[in-house]
Structure 1
C-alpha cells in the first residue's frame, strides 16, 4: 500500500523565504523510506490560524491525503497556533500518538514537555503535529512510525478486524 502524505510547515520566516525548511526535508525522506508514502502536497504557511486550517482542510478534503504531517507552531510562543488550528478541523482526537511522541522525546530532553502538538482524524485523514526543528521532527515521528501503517489502515476504513 502506498500512502498519500501531505506535509504542512507553519513558519513565519519559512513562508517569507527567510529560513530553509529542513524539517520538511527530514519528513519527506522518512515518509518515503519508512512507510512507503508518496508526498501529494507540500506547503509552507505563516503562523496564522486561518491559513493553517485552510491548508489542512484542502490537504484532507481535496488532495485526499491519508496522512498530514505538520511541522512547526507547537510551542509556547504566542504565534504557535498549529494545535488549535488542527483541533478546529479534526472530527476526533487521537491523544495516544501525541502522548507517545512526548514521552519518547522527554527521554532525551525534558523540554519536550513544552510541545503542545496534537493528533486527530478528519474524515479518513490522520493529522499529526510535529515540532519545528529537524531533530524534534525525527525523534517524534520515529517514536510512532512503526504504528502508522496500522493507524492509516484503520482510519481509512481498509482494516476492520480488531483481533
Structure 2
C-alpha cells in the first residue's frame, strides 16, 4: 500500500525554497506505516491538480494521496475544488478533525477549506501549506488513517 505526496505551491514549483510541506507529509505517511509511492510538486492550477489526483487514484497500490497547499481563501487556492471534482464520497470528519486541532494553535483555523474524500479505493486528504499546520493536523488524524485505509482496501470488514 502506497501514498502519494502532492505539494501544491506555485512558488515552490518555480524552484523558490525547499518543499518542507512535502517532507512533513512524507514523514506522516511513514509514521503510519505507508510507504511513499511518489512525490509531486505542482503549481496552484485547478486542471493540473485534478489531473495529478486522477493519475494517483488510477495508480495500482496507491491507497492514500496527501496534498499540501491551496486550501485558503486566496483566489489561487483551488485545491478543495480540484479534489471535490475527483472524489466520489466525502470524508468530512477527517477535515473537521484537522480544523479542530488547528483551533488550539491559531485564530485563523476556520479559514482552512481543505477537504477529504474517497475516489475508488483511494483516500485523498488536503492539508494546509504550512509545515507547522501539517504537523498539528497530522497529529489529529494519524491514529484513524490506518483504519480508514484498511476499510478502503478490504483489509477489515465494515462495521
**Normalised-by-shorter TM-score class:** over 0.9
For residues 5-154 of structure 1, what are the structure 2 equivalents within 5 Å?
Answer: 5-32=3-30, 34-154=31-151
Q: What CA distance in whole angstroms lies between the structure 1 residues aligned with 2:20 and 2:51?
A: 23
Runs ≥4 residues deviating over 3 A: none
Deviation per CA, 1:69-128: give whole Å up to 9, x if none: 000000010000000000000000100000011011102212111000000000000000
Q: What CA distance in whole angstroms lies between the structure 2 residues aligned with 1:108 and 1:18?
A: 27
Cα root mean square deviation, aligned: 1.0
Instruction: Check the 8 A contact 1:41/1:59 in 2, yes or no.
Output: no
Structure 1 alignment gaps of length 5 or more: none
SS in 2 for 1:146: coil
Q: What CA distance in whole angstroms lies between the structure 2 residues aligned with 1:112 and 1:41?
A: 29
Structure 2 alignment gaps of length 5 or more: none
Q: Name the count of aligned residue pairs.
A: 159
SS in 1 for 2:75: coil
